[in-house]
């Protein structure tokens, strides 16, 4: 458990964030029962604590692949009491009843039905996620699990919070509260009937380290009336701190030229995106294009041509402009948190990831300042150009069923990608399980003090 008093915002409020990590033994069988239990629980808690929202309190329970998250926020003088009451109610909840089960099962089925209505570029992003994360839940898997779901299985999932099941707990209390409040929260958590979960059995979502020369996943959009095609190209660059900031810096420089070339000049599609983020601990840069008239093969060729040409843009980038991009990224990194909840979430991300990089913003800002144009060019050549030593693109291509020709277009793209030395992903879930993963090194809370 972690405790941090409020030194910045001066408001009589606090935040409590709790995570209950579950064993990897049941990660697949829990997929749908945990969702059904959660929906029924949420309805029950909303009735039980209806007045809490009017008193300025908020709480939310959500399920993730690796466990349960419970969040509380509100006025600090009564928040500890709310936490105790909600956790007690959560353990006492015996549902869903048979009637509740029918209602929440219908909601889950409607959620899954709406999946097929998403745009092609979002379906491409989803497909890439399934191919690069293990464990994760594909829509096909969830539908199979839903078809055999039962109220008993949902109730059994909730029963783990009443019996001495192995769980791993993390918690953060932050805000206008004192050590006595932290001790009270710890007392409440320690009273929950859990056995310690060994580290080796904790569920940990691993991120695929793609093969050199890349991998291609080609799928048709599940919506037969969808006419758009799309590609989602992800460059996974790695977890090293300097690589992470160079990925973010490159995105700032590349985003506008990419949009101008693909959308404005070539008019290949209305959806054109370039974004950088962290996937687990590893950085990635994703480029996406959605088009109503061009097949994924042509879209990919345009993206590849842009990346080759963009090397000259980097080479010719004036020192003053390069410096301005670095300054903008530093300002983004060190921007002060505007609310207590925003700061708490930042610390919570460090805790949940077992990284505990309490000085991350300062360290990353210093790294950005140290990046030279030569550094960025070397990084670009190795990670984003064919033949580079760390060129590992994952291409997720979505084809339109309508209009015909999808299978022929798939075969053409697959043959060309394979001829370039890339790997063809036939089974996304199998690929994510069997592929090499980026290393995940846990740190001590004291490493960065």
Going along the chain from its start, the domains and CATH numbers come out as 2-201 (3.30.830.10), 207-434 (3.30.830.10)
pLDDT at residue 402 above 90? no
pLDDT at residue 272 above 90? yes
Average pLDDT over residues 40-49: 93
Which DSSP letter does residue 174 get?
E
Tell me what pLDDT residue 405 has: 85
CA distance 44 to 97: 11
CA distance 131 to 234: 12
pLDDT at residue 404 above 80? no
Q: What is the pTM of this model?
A: 0.95
Collapsed DSSP state (helix, strand, coil) of residue 122: helix
Q: What is the pLDDT of residues 345-366, one digit of tens each?
A: 999 999 999 999 999 999 999 9
Cα angle at 292 between 289 and 293, to 5 degrees?
Answer: 100
pLDDT above 70: percentage of residues in the chain: 100
Q: Please answer whether residues 93 and 68 qualify as being in contact, where contact means their C-beta atoms are separated by less than 8 angstroms.
A: no
Collapsed DSSP state (helix, strand, coil) of residue 65: coil
Q: What is the pLDDT of residues 302-345, one digit of tens each?
A: 999 999 999 999 999 999 999 999 999 999 999 999 999 999 99
Tell me what pLDDT residue 158 has: 94
Average pLDDT over residues 265-294: 97
Average pLDDT over residues 210-238: 97
CA distance 231 to 233: 6
Q: Please answer whether residues 215 and 395 qualify as being in contact, where contact means their C-beta atoms are separated by less than 8 angstroms.
A: yes
Tell me what pLDDT residue 364 has: 98
Which DSSP letter does residue 261 get?
I
Tell me what pLDDT residue 217 has: 99
* Structure-token pair, residue 314: 């980097």
Report the candidate in 156, 192, 194, 199 with the shortest Cα–Cα distance to residue 24.
Answer: 199
Collapsed DSSP state (helix, strand, coil) of residue 288: strand
Q: In whole angstroms, what separates CA 162 from the centre of its chain? A: 30
Tell me what pLDDT residue 355 has: 96
Q: Please answer whether residues 396 and 217 qualify as being in contact, where contact means their C-beta atoms are separated by less than 8 angstroms.
A: yes
CA distance 86 to 82: 6
Tell me what pLDDT residue 448 has: 80
User: For the chain, what is the mean pLDDT?
Assistant: 96
CA distance 281 to 287: 19
Q: What is the pLDDT of residues 105-149, one digit of tens each?
A: 999 999 999 999 999 999 999 999 999 999 999 999 999 999 999
Report the candidate in 352, 96, 83, 95 with the shortest Cα–Cα distance to residue 191.
Answer: 83
Tell me what pLDDT residue 163 has: 87
pLDDT at residue 449 above 80? no
Phi, psi of 253 (to 5 degrees): -80, -35
pLDDT at residue 167 above 90? yes
Tell me what pLDDT residue 48 has: 87
pLDDT at residue 54 above 80? no
Average pLDDT over residues 240-258: 99
Q: What is the pLDDT of residues 57-116, one digit of tens each?
A: 999 999 999 999 999 999 988 899 999 999 999 999 999 999 999 999 999 999 999 999
Tell me what pLDDT residue 53 has: 79
Q: Please answer whether residues 314 and 373 qualify as being in contact, where contact means their C-beta atoms are separated by less than 8 angstroms.
A: yes
**Confidence label for 50 from pLDDT (cuts 50, 70 and 90):** confident
Q: Please answer whether residues 397 and 218 qualify as being in contact, where contact means their C-beta atoms are separated by less than 8 angstroms.
A: yes
């Amino acid at each position: 458990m972690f405790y941090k008093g409020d030194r910045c915002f001066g408001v009589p409020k606090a935040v409590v964030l709790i995570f209950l990590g579950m064993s990897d033994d049941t990660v697949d069988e829990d997929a749908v029962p945990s969702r059904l239990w959660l929906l029924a629980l949420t309805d029950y808690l909303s009735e039980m604590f209806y007045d809490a929202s009017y008193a300025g309190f908020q709480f939310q329970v959500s399920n993730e692949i690796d466990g349960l998250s419970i969040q509380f926020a509100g006025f600090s003088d009564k928040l500890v009491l709310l936490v105790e009451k909600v956790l007690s109610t959560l353990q006492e909840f015996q549902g869903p009843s048979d009637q509740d089960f029918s209602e929440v099962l219908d909601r889950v089925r409607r959620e899954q039905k709406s999946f097929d209505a998403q745009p092609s570029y979002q379906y491409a992003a989803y497909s890439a996620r399934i191919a690069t994360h293990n464990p994760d839940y594909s829509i096909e898997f969830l539908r199979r699990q839903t078809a055999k779901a039962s109220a008993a299985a949902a109730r059994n999932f909730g029963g783990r919070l009443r019996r001495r099941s192995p769980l791993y707990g993390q918690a953060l209390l932050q805000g206008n509260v004192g050590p006595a409040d932290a001790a009270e929260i710890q007392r409440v958590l320690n009273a929950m009937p859990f056995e310690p979960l060994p580290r080796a059995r904790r569920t940990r979502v691993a991120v695929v380290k793609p093969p050199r020369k890349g991998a291609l996943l080609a799928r048709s959009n599940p919506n037969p009336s969808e006419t758009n095609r799309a590609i989602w190209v992800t460059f996974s660059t790695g977890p090293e701190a300097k690589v992470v900031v160079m990925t973010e810096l490159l995105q700032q420089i590349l985003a506008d030229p990419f949009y101008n070339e693909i959308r404005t000049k070539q008019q290949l599609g209305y959806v054109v995106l370039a974004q950088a983020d962290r996937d687990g601990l590893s950085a990635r840069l994703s480029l996406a294009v959605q088009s109503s008239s061009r097949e994924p093969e042509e879209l990919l060729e345009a993206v590849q041509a842009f990346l080759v040409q963009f090397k000259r843009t980097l080479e010719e980038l004036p020192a003053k402009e390069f410096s301005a991009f670095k300054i903008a990224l530093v300002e983004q990194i060190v921007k002060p948190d505007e609310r207590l909840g925003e700061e708490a979430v930042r610390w919570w991300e460090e805790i949940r990831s077992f990284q505990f990089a309490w000085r991350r913003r300062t360290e990353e800002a210093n790294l950005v300042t140290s990046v030279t144009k030569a550094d960025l060019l070397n990084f670009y050549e190795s990670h984003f150009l064919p033949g580079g030593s760390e060129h590992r693109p994952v291409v997720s291509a979505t084809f339109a069923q309508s209009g015909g020709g999808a299978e022929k277009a798939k075969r053409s793209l697959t043959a060309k990608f394979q001829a370039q030395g890339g790997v063809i992903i036939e089974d996304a879930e199998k690929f994510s399980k069997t592929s090499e993963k980026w290393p995940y090194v846990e740190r001590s809370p004291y490493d960065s003090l």
